[in-house]
Amino acid sequence: MKARIFQVDAFTTTRFAGNPAAVMLMDRFPVDSTMQAIADENNLAETAFLVPDNGDYQLRWFTPKVEVPLCGHATLASGSVVMERLEIGRRKVTFQSASGPLPVSRTDTGSYVLDFPIRPSEPVAGPVGLANALGAEPIEVYGNAFNYMAILEDEAAVRGLRPDFATIAAYDRPGVIVTARGSAPYDFVSRYFAPAKGVPEDPVTGAAHTMLAPYWARQLGKTEFRAFQASRRGGEIRCRLTGARIMLEGNCVFYLEGTAEV
């Protein structure tokens, strides 16, 4: 079977920044082991698999190690593939996923807006040794079923982390978000470590912001944010909370497209 493949840098206006995702258009989903092997071969944080479905698309995401229930940057990239390559001129698409229907729309300026469910969190004790694993002492730790989130003293602490990935990989949550207030023009900054999923540090993580934004809404008393993920590649996400949903806005830049032999 042959499949069209695209590689897109998401949450950036600059090629070689943001978070690269592979997007593959399939007639049907292959068996899980094949999709996992493809994601491992692509060796990116995420590979998105699209299957046409009654005018929209089914969507699944795989890291090099596991399938995940929600992925922001690869959904943003998938939206750009649909609206800029597969159906030029289309302005909105809804992806059917393990996290329910996920609408993606294109703005008049060419950015894309994801409509995602929020992931609330609450204060937790955090895993033993988290400060040593991060190399910084958290002010607070929050958690939900998906991640721990460590609140650090300032932006410099977030940017200066040199985490112990082997320790973090053994935690009982798939990943650790770290965050602090940002300096202008950003309301907050973050980084995301998920070695257990085969992604030691994710460059820009839309799904992490479904946990970050509700926290910062309480701290800052606002519902709209400009956020920066301070990985080596870096990327910007504009966030807007609307009840139990969050709008995540960003840009995409195409890097390559071709055909894969599956």
**Residues marked as catalytic:** 46
Q: Look at residue 225 and tell me whether its pLDDT is greater than 90.
A: yes
102-120 mean pLDDT: 98
Find out whether 59 and 97 touch, Cβ atoms under 8 Å. yes
Q: Look at residue 10 and tell me whether its pLDDT is greater than 90.
A: yes
Q: How far apart are CA 171 and CA 242, in angstroms?
A: 32
> What is the residue whose two structure tokens read 């940057």?
73
Domains of the chain listed by start with CATH number: 2-117+248-261 (3.10.310.10), 122-243 (3.10.310.10)
Kindly calculate the radius of gyration of the chain based on its CA atoms and give it in whole angstroms.
18
What are 65-96's pLDDT values in tens digits? 999 999 999 999 999 999 999 999 999 999 99
Q: What is the pLDDT of residue 172?
A: 96
158-183 mean pLDDT: 97
Find out whether 209 and 239 touch, Cβ atoms under 8 Å. yes
Q: How far apart are CA 174 and CA 131, in angstroms?
A: 17
* pLDDT band, very low/low/confident/very high, at 231 (cuts 50, 70, 90): very high
152-162 mean pLDDT: 98
Q: Look at residue 1 and tell me whether its pLDDT is greater than 90.
A: no
What are 175-223's pLDDT values in tens digits? 999 999 999 999 999 999 999 999 999 999 999 999 999 999 999 999 9
Q: Look at residue 104 and tell me whether its pLDDT is greater than 90.
A: yes
